[in-house]
């Protein structure tokens, strides 16, 4: 198992005795997938952290509002879908702040996730100065452009454990993701595990 943090700044998982794991979804909100995801979460009594893009929150504020109203939380995935590591510090700060302004209309935002992988030390320092903690994951869907395929719920459930952080992706080319989440939640529930937000998981350690 990957350690819970790297130099105390990046969260991968949370050591906990609680029967919980965090479910996280990147790249929304999107009318093609977000409603189906929220319906699946409601059916199972589960919660998630949606790492959303600022430009998509501006385009779909009703979906961002619904995410929060149904007990989930928003995380900052910067302004648009692009590799964070390629951004100069000033450009990254600008995009992070722009996204934060859109997101905090709907509630508090505690978490940041870089686009397309690993952040640089400068990015981590900027995010921390903005009051955001970086979270990656310990179980990541790769197939189906990160949304999962017909078998993804099964193999994800097999590697999910207490304190894990699951990473999935949504959007118009990822129509499979609500079904993947539905299957994953059903399988983990049979093992006595419940999906919660990152903030709830971090508070159970």
pLDDT score, position 117 = 74
Q: Is 182 one of the catalytic residues?
A: no
Q: Is 26 one of the catalytic residues?
A: yes
pLDDT in tens, 14-54: 999 999 999 999 999 999 999 999 999 999 999 999 999 99
pLDDT score, position 9 = 80
Are 147 and 175 a contacting pair, CB within 8 Å?
yes
Among residues 113, 108, 105, 38, the alpha carbon closest in space to that of 73 is found at 108
pLDDT score, position 158 = 95
Are 106 and 64 a contacting pair, CB within 8 Å?
yes
Structural domain that includes position 63: 5-202
Are 149 and 143 a contacting pair, CB within 8 Å?
yes
pLDDT in tens, 127-148: 999 999 999 999 999 999 999 9
What sign has the CA pseudo-torsion 79, 80, 85, 89?
negative
Instruction: State the catalytic residue, choosing from 26, 27, 182, 183.
Output: 26
Are 177 and 170 a contacting pair, CB within 8 Å?
yes
- pLDDT band at residue 1 under the 50/70/90 scheme: very low
Among residues 196, 202, 137, the alpha carbon closest in space to that of 164 is found at 137
Lowest-confidence region among 9-13, 46-50, 118-122, 199-203:
118-122
* Over residues 71-100, mean pLDDT: 96
Domain containing 54 — which CATH number?
Answer: 3.20.20.370
Are 16 and 1 a contacting pair, CB within 8 Å?
no
pLDDT score, position 2 = 39
Tokens 């940041």 correspond to: 112
pLDDT score, position 152 = 95
Are 157 and 126 a contacting pair, CB within 8 Å?
no
| Percent of the chain whose predicted confidence (pLDDT) is above 70 | 95
Report the predicted TM-score, pTM, of the whole model to 2 decimal places.
Answer: 0.95
Averaged confidence pLDDT in the chain: 94
* Over residues 184-199, mean pLDDT: 98
Residues 6+ positions from 121 with CB-CB distance below 8 Å:
none
Instruction: State the catalytic residue, choosing from 123, 169, 182, 183.
Output: 169
Among residues 41, 22, 32, 25, the alpha carbon closest in space to that of 174 is found at 32
What's the domain count of the chain?
1
């Amino acid at each position: 198992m990957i350690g819970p943090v790297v130099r105390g700044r990046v969260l991968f998982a949370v050591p906990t005795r609680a029967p919980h794991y965090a479910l996280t979804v990147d790249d929304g909100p999107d009318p093609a997938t977000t409603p189906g995801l929220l319906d699946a979460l409601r059916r199972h009594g589960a919660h998630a952290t949606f790492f959303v893009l600022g430009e998509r929150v501006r385009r779909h504020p009703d979906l961002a509002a619904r995410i929060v109203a149904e007990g989930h939380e928003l995380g900052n995935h910067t302004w648009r879908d692009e590799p964070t590591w390629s951004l100069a510090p000033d450009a990254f700060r600008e995009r992070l702040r722009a996204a934060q302004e859109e997101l905090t209309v709907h509630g508090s935002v505690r978490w940041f996730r870089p686009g397309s992988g690993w952040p640089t030390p400068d990015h981590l320092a900027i995010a921390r100065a903005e009051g955001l903690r970086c979270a990656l994951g310990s179980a990541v869907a790769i197939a189906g452009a990160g949304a999962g395929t017909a078998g993804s719920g099964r193999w994800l459930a097999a590697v999910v454990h207490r304190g894990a952080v699951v990473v999935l992706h949504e959007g118009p080319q990822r129509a499979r993701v609500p079904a993947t989440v539905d299957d994953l939640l059903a399988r983990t529930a049979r093992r006595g595990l419940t999906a919660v937000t990152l903030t709830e998981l971090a508070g159970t350690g």
